[in-house]
Amino acid sequence: MKDTHQRFSHITISLHWLLALSMIAMLPFGLYIESLEGGPQKWGFIAQHKSFGVLILLIAALRFSWRLKNGFPKALSPVKNWEKALASFTHWFLLLGTLFMPISGIMMSMGGGYPVAVFGFEIIGKGEKNESLAQLGHIIHGLGGKILIALIILHIAAALKHQFIDKDGTLARMLGKTIDTQDPAN
C-alpha cells in the first residue's frame, strides 16, 4: 500500500495519472473558454468546466492528504542541490495547483453571485455578489493557471531527461515498474 523507494503504490500511480490528464485537459479548456465571446456556447462550456473542476477538487484533496502522509519520492539518480530544490518546488506547486485552481474557480463563481453545479446538481446556490472575492479568484485562476502550464512543461521535460539521458527509471517507477536500486536512506 505504501510507496517505497523502489516501487510506488497503485494509489500514488493512479492519482498521479488521473490528475495529470485532468489538469492537462482543463488548463487549455479554460483558456479556450476565456477566448470565446459571451453566448450560449460559452455558458455551456463554463458549466462543464465547473462540473469537472469540482470533481477534480475532490480527487486532488484525496491526493494531497495521501502525499502528506507518504512524503515526496526521492530521486533515483544523484542530483545537484539546485535540481533537488527545483524538483521539490515544482512538485509542491503542481500538487497545490490541483487544489488552488478549482478553489479559485469556485471563489470566482461565488464572488460573481453565480451558482456552482456538478452536471446539473447544484452544490452552491446563487448568492450576493462579492467583487473582491471574484477579483481575487480571477487573479489566482488566471495567473496560477499560466504558471502551472509553464511548470508542467518543465516537469515533463524533466521526466523525459530522466528517461532518455539519465536512464534512471524515474518515469518507469511512475508507470508501476519496480526499480532495482538501494534506498539512499539505508
Cβ of residue 114: shortest distance to ligand HEM, in angstroms? 8
102 near ligand HEM (CB under 6 A): yes
Torsion of CA 109, 90, 148, 102, to 10 degrees: -20
Pick from 4, 7, 10, 33 the residue near ligand HEM by CB under 6 A: 33
Q: Is position 18 an interface residue for ligand HEM (rule: CB under 6 A)?
A: no
CB of 84 to ligand HEM, least distance (A): 10
Contact between residue 156 and residue 16 where contact means Cβ atoms under 8 Å apart: no
Whether 168 contacts 184, CB under 8 Å: no
CA distance 72 to 79: 15
Residue written as grid cell 479568484: 137
* Candidate residues 11, 27, 47, 140; the one interacting with ligand HEM per rule CB under 6 A: 27
Pick the binder of ligand HEM from 79, 86, 95, 118 (CB under 6 A). 95
> How many residues contact ligand HEM, by CB under 6 A?
45
Give the three-state DSSP class for 25. Answer: helix
Separation of alpha carbons 105 and 60, rounded Å: 14
Indicate which single residue of 4, 85, 159, 178 sits in contact with ligand HEM (rule: CB under 6 A): 159
Q: Is 111 in the site for ligand HEM (CB under 6 A)?
A: no
| Residue showing cell 485562476 | 141
d(CA 168, CA 119): 43
Residue 79 in the binding site for ligand HEM (CB under 6 A): no
Strands (E), 33-183: 116-118, 121-124
Instruction: Give the interface with ligand HEM as residue ranges (CB under 6 A).
Output: 12, 16, 19-20, 23-24, 26-27, 30-31, 33-34, 46, 49-50, 53-54, 56, 67, 72-73, 75, 91, 94-95, 97-98, 101-102, 105-106, 108-109, 116, 141-142, 145, 152, 155-156, 159, 170-171, 173-174
